[in-house]
Amino acid sequence: MEPNRRAQLTLRIKKRARQLGFHAVGVSPSDPGPDDKLRVWLELGFQGSMTYLERQAEKRLDPGKVLPGVRSMICVALAYPHSQPLPYDDPNRGVISRYASGDDYHSVMGALMTSLLESIREELPGVGTRFYVDSGPVMDKYWAARAGIGWLGKHTNILDRKLGSWFFLGEILLDLELDYDEPALDHCGSCTRCIDACPTDAIVEPYLLDSRRCISYLTIELKQDIPEDLREPMGNLVFGCDICQDVCPWNHPVPDSSVPDLEPRPVNRSPELWELAQLSPDEFRERFSGSPVKRAKWRGFVRNVAVAMGNSGKPGLAPELTNLLNSEDPMVRRHAGWALKQLGTREALDAVRRRCSREPDSETRATLRELLDDEAADPAGVS
Ligand code: B12
Ligand code: SF4
Ligand code: SF4
């Protein structure tokens, strides 16, 4: 395409993206570049149980394998509301991270991306395109950094000096050359606040995250037992984690986003743990319908709630935990047992003892037995 026409087309696409409500837009060439960091990360095992990242690694490393003939990546960012205070200091309540407090961003952003794509197709009938929001085999952060949307912070999120990091990313692949933006410059400098604040030391070195230690992974992606040594540091976080972003100086102050569908649902702002623990699987599905929280599924979510209750220091939560100890799901029972042990009252320990004596699942029985043995060895919790 002739350079002038290409420049104008690029500008029109960017203008349309802004009109639709995207907070940033940038364009990068789609050549894969000399980036083997994904491979290194996978070799280190930092993906944990997210095996889909391994299966699709070749595609992730080369958009040409996703859309043959691709030339350009149009990257967009949509900011989400972030100014609501989270109840970190209230042990009776659970923290749901900001990105997940409103409607599911996949559908909210997907609708905007569809409109952007339609306007591109109107102007360029027959052009080869594809778009992704999070769920595709595309490295959203890598392309966003190359398209100048923001830099990859030491906490491994993309951030910008004006927007902070409270935004989602998406991209349109296009088999047409456009005018390209410069990659964003790194403004982390000597700061290490995110690394220092991470409760589980998941940022093992600047720009390198071990998902297996990250509370976001533990509360959303992990479908099995949460490693015991990471449960206490989780505090009252029941879905996702915003701590490394909360402490980032570039996130203070940034104007709040006003995308109505992403506004926190009132029930998600500061939910009481006892109430979350009482949700049946059907009630969970209903309450979190159309919300990112449903990704944890009932058993994962209630497991997280049990851990938060164990960390609460509130013996008054023992009855709800005792109900979970009798839940139909063995993983939930094991976490409820751990949480009751953490509360450490006679009522709580008696409940574990009673369950242990009639526990049908051998793995769960062994876990409960271990908890009780530990207690017998250290009854006053003084060792
Ligand atoms: C897997 C995944 C996770 C995993 C792993 C997180 C991670 N840091 O990669 C877990 C479950 C832990 C997770 C957590 C969260 N996630 Co997530 N996640 C993803 C997903 C699906 C893939 C990311 C990936 O490929 N990771 C693999 C590693 C290897 O990638 P990497 O750290 O980015 O490093 C690569 C490049 O950045 C590059 N690189 C390294 N250094 C440099 C330097 C420069 C200059 C450049 C250009 C490149 C570069 O090398 C690496 C390999 O190529 C993306 C969506 C997508 N399709 O991309 C969302 C995504 C990254 N997640 C997102 C969000 C919002 C979150 C949470 C904030 C949610 C929450 N509140 O709980 C947390 C943040 C945790 C954290 N500190 O990062 C957003 C991030 C938006 C943003 N502003 O950056 C994304 C982009 C989803 C979206 N479309 O909006 N997530
Ligand atoms: S999201 Fe939470 S656990 Fe994960 S790296 Fe950031 S502070 Fe650490
Ligand atoms: S807290 Fe500091 S080191 Fe971490 S991403 Fe923000 S500026 Fe970079």
Task: Supply the pLDDT for residue 382.
Answer: 47
Name 26's Cβ contacts closer than 8 Å, sequence gap at least 6: 74, 75, 144, 147, 148, 149, 181
d(CA 52, ligand 1 centre) in Å: 14
> Which ligand 3 atom is nearest residue 153's CA?
5
Residue 148 DSSP one-character state: T
Task: Supply the pLDDT for residue 275.
Answer: 98
How far apart CA 285 and CA 289 sit, in angstroms, is: 6
C-alpha 108: how far from chain center: 17
Which residue in this structure is represented by tokens 């071990």? 210
> Which ligand 1 atom is nearest residue 183's CA?
47
Task: Supply the pLDDT for residue 361.
Answer: 98
C-alpha 219: how far from chain center: 9
d(CA 10, ligand 2 centre) in Å: 36
How far apart CA 118 and CA 370 sit, in angstroms, is: 59
CA-derived radius of gyration, the chain: 23
Using an 8 Å Cβ cutoff, are 192 and 244 in contact? no
Task: Supply the pLDDT for residue 383.
Answer: 42
Task: Supply the pLDDT for residue 379.
Answer: 61
3-state secondary structure 239-295: ECCCHHHHCCHHHCCCCCCCCHHHCCCHHHHCCEHHHHHCCCHHHHHHHCCCCHHHH
How far apart CA 310 and CA 130 sit, in angstroms, is: 45
Write phi, then psi, for 112 (nearest 5 degrees): -70, -40
Using an 8 Å Cβ cutoff, are 98 and 82 in contact? yes
* Dihedral of the alpha carbons of 49, 50, 54, 56, in degrees to the nearest 10: 150
Atom 2 in ligand 3: residue holding the nearest Cα: 191
Atom 1 in ligand 3: residue holding the nearest Cα: 248
Q: Is the CB of 176 under 6 A from ligand 1?
A: no
Name 113's Cβ contacts closer than 8 Å, sequence gap at least 6: 76, 131, 133, 170, 172
Q: Is the CB of 248 under 6 A from ligand 3?
A: yes
Task: Supply the pLDDT for residue 190.
Answer: 98
Atom 5 in ligand 3: residue holding the nearest Cα: 153
Atom 79 in ligand 1: residue holding the nearest Cα: 168
With a cut of 50, which residues of the chain have pLDDT below it? 382-383
How far apart CA 335 and CA 331 sit, in angstroms, is: 6
Q: Which two tokens stand for residue 278?
A: 């009482």
pTM for this predicted structure: 0.96
Pocket test for ligand 3, best of 250, 251, 254 (most atoms within 8 A of CB): 250
Q: Is the CB of 200 under 6 A from ligand 2?
A: yes
Q: Which domains does the chain have, with CATH numbers?
A: 3-82+102-174 (no CATH), 272-383 (1.25.10.10)
Tell me the H-state helices in 23-85.
37-43, 52-55, 57-61
Distances (CA, A) of 336 to 205, 322, 364: 33, 7, 11
* Residue positions annotated with a catalytic role: 134
Write phi, then psi, for 160 (nearest 5 degrees): -135, 150
Q: Which ligand is nearest to the CA of 214?
A: 2
How far apart CA 134 and CA 220 sit, in angstroms, is: 15
d(CA 57, ligand 1 centre) in Å: 14
Percentage helix, strand, coil for the chain under 3-state DSSP, each rounded to 5: 50, 10, 40
